Amino acid sequence: MDYGMVFVKILLVCLVGEFVIAEGLAVNWGTRASHPLPPDIVVKLMKDNGIDKVKLFEVVPEAMEALGNSGIQVMVGIPNELLAPLASSVRVAEDWVSQNVSSYISRYGVDVRYVAIGNEPFLKTYKDMFSGTIYPALENIQAALIKAGLGRQVKVTIPINADVYQTESGLPSGGDFRPDIHDLMMSIIKFLNDNGAPLTINIYPFLSLYADPHFPVDYAFFEGSAAPVVDGSITYTNVFEANYDTLIWALEKNGFPNIPVIVGEVGWPTDGDVNANKEYARRFNQGLLNRIIQNRGTPKRPSPAPDIYLFGLIDEDAKSIQPGNFERHWGIFYYDGSIKYPLNLGNNRNLTYAKGVKYLSRQWCVMRPDADLSDPNLPQSIDKACSYADCTSLGYGSSCGGLDVRGNASYAFNMFYQTANQQKGSCDQFFNLSVITNIDPSPSGSSCKYEIMIDTGRHEVARKPTTSSGSNTSSSILTMMLLLLPGLILKNFS
């Protein structure tokens, strides 16, 4: 024991009261943005906010290099589409580890701790697409890490969604794995356990509320104000603990009571749905941070408290909206690293915004004041803008959902203009319906904001936001709904 460090902590308690500050904060860093923050600014943002663990969904070279010698522990992800080649050959896995793990450790000093193999591969929507490749990919990556001399330093894991387990009784104590994947889950968990590796689970109380309008709202949060769910001697007042403990019961029933479990994703979005707002997000994430600060486990597994990776760090305007329009708004920071809402990180330490961010010129593209709302070119103009750029903030219950038709058109035109880097001629794409202005069109006193994008220093056309396979149809439906009535409430246009 380091008695000097113990004395220092005791002295701090005496001087400043209870010694509480978030240690070991962990986040997910998603990079699907049309105008991403420079990685060095993101790493500085994490360090300024006491974040020392990060999960990447894929290896992004610029992000990995920026994380070198940063003191931040890294979990690198392998996308599901790579599972088949990795499962096919140990040599392929060795090449992947060499290029994406070993080289960054040796050349840049990146502190890689985990390789996350796949992401929620057992989602029912995948229809067993990855069931035949996930386990051999796991074996091959583990073998490759051992061959590279990284078997002790870097552990494998598989992030799974909470739908891999269920409970017939509706209580955590009834937890077990889905019958259709039970045997495969047992093989995976035994392999992880034998190799001293953790299981990773993603838990989303927001999705419980999103999927079921009758879900008790308070049960999604942590204040203990929800009607309790009694399970034997344990009382649950939030769905996070009940969900996590359902997994712990399932593991215990199947002979793995002590395998480490990481919470790989948990958070709350701020836009794109009536329940995705800053008030709820602050309420949820502050409650979550309080648990992390207090090092709290759950009733079934009070200790050790799990590592919890908050989802996510920054909004991603190029992410798929197939699950819902909220998918682009999970960040605790906006796209530019500015703060959405206050969070106490412990000992009254608050969030710090990103420094050194550069923006495009202070100008916007809006609908011309003299343009006719009945112009037959207006529908296809909005359709074009929202097919290319992110219009999810115009949805029902979203931050810009209360705009009139002219406001909707202006918002869509501006998002197109900004996503196209304000390139010359990009505001002239809408049949003379649009004009550039230097006056901020954001409504006064509203949470709706007409953005100006980050100046990435590149002047090529930005990456088109990813939508579902029916994006053109969705965009056309959106356009029609935008034009029906001034102030129209849009609902479920994703």
Q: Single out the catalytic residue among 94, 120, 139, 241.
A: 120
pLDDT of residue 348: 83
Which segment of 327-341, 382-396, 440-454, 462-476 scores lowest on mean pLDDT? 462-476
pTM: 0.89
265 is catalytic: yes
What is the rounded average pLDDT of the residues 332-360? 95
**Beta-bridge partners for 128:** none
**Region 74-86: what's the mean pLDDT?**
98
Average pLDDT, the chain: 90
pLDDT above 80: residue 67: yes
Q: Decide if 363 contacts 434 (C-beta within 8 A).
A: no
**pLDDT confidence of residue 457:** 84
Q: What is the pLDDT of residues 273-306, one digit of tens each?
A: 999 999 999 999 999 999 999 999 999 999 999 9
What CATH number labels 24-328?
Answer: 3.20.20.80
Let me know if 120 is a catalytic residue: yes
Domain range list for the chain: 24-328, 364-484
User: Is the pLDDT reported for residue 9 higher than 90?
Assistant: no
| Catalytic member of 265, 316, 327, 451 | 265
